Structure 1
């Protein structure tokens, strides 16, 4: 599981930071999370293949999180895409998107499978053989959602020498990898622990932007390996954060600490902060395992988890 930051700025982009967009790579399945202006440019700079993006998640309908999607869909069309695209976004978005496509006379060559986000409770919205995705409500000026990506536990790793020694068939190996014990030809019960090794633990990533601080969020993302939490402002601007439905770096750190997160990555920085080091240090005074979201950087979540342990 690897996270690439395409944009870490808030509403105003800067010369060094684009608006919000992340790409999460899970077993070579790419998930685009938010799609601010300039996302296409960043995808190219980061050498991410457009055709591998089949699922897009939009947290809310403020422009810095969605304006890049119109151009990206048009580019998909120009590149000859025919594979369906799954789009997860607030329920009202499909009407807006349809209007845009109509106004600009864009006839897509591919189908958009729209999955409306709604509700006041966490809901599983996606599942494949490797992982699940859960959406959950945030606290912003308009309806907004976070996303929790969780890997499923992997199958156990067989000890090949023991398998060959006992002459275990392929069909039996499948059951053993799922945790079953084995009965040998002479009737002996061979424990699964004598035949396999533990797999790598499943990883998780939570995306929380935009949101004001609220205590209930920590329970939703508890024990997550990597928590992305917006940190638009420093604490000396906490009143502005409250008024605009955003968080300070300290707010993000409080949530990470309460959630027992592995690592906190902060972003959605206000354009007023050319230097984000003070925001990172503010968060680290509360939650030491804090890193900044940097445009163009890829973070290996497994490696971050190993460092914590």
Structure 2
């Protein structure tokens, strides 16, 4: 029983990392009508920024994480203003290719600025705690709580705030939203900025267990995209729930079945679900009326 609790606790932490990245991807998809393949690379770049800040200043990790998210917010704004806003009339597939180009840009710029050596980002808090014979670090507890709180706040704002109404209107129909006086360019810009900040937070949550390097977010990016497919691109909460489900399933498969074949088995299970639910677990079939 203690092993199962340990797996579930670890899954909540990893699932939260996947969920933050997936929420960023779905925000951009719903407002910009494109899939952002550069989410992980942008997050990696700003994780380097945060790590250099903490090396140079010695500030606490939690404060530097906030500064890193502010840096990511600025990068998201620049990406939207310089690149995405110029491609507003471009076909969605072409926009996806643009995001692939962003991957190459950030992968090229990052080593030029920060070098190629992996860097270590410290934990937010040290120590551990026992829960029913299962051990969990205080840092993992912080990651779990922060991830859940941030997502709940965003979901609340999406449902109850004027900004959330504008986002939902833009995601529903950009043209009609503009006719109603909603500043859709600002909404899109804000979505890119928030998505970059969420991805950077996910990267800094992950960094203490690995290192800050050029490929640190590659796996998270893949899982976040799978979570969007599994949860459905038609809702904001679907990919988040799917991300936690993937985190739990991955750890259970790795422990009880095979750590070597866990990824392959997980992908097959997701494929099986998509075969029966093409629009995802929470997605809805879109019917256009003529």
Q: Which has the higher contact order (CA 8 A, sep 6+)?
A: 2
Instruction: Compare CA radii of gyration and give the structure with the larger one.
Output: 1
TM-score normalised by length of structure 2:
0.23
More strand by share: 1
More helix by share: 2
TM-score normalised by length of structure 1:
0.22
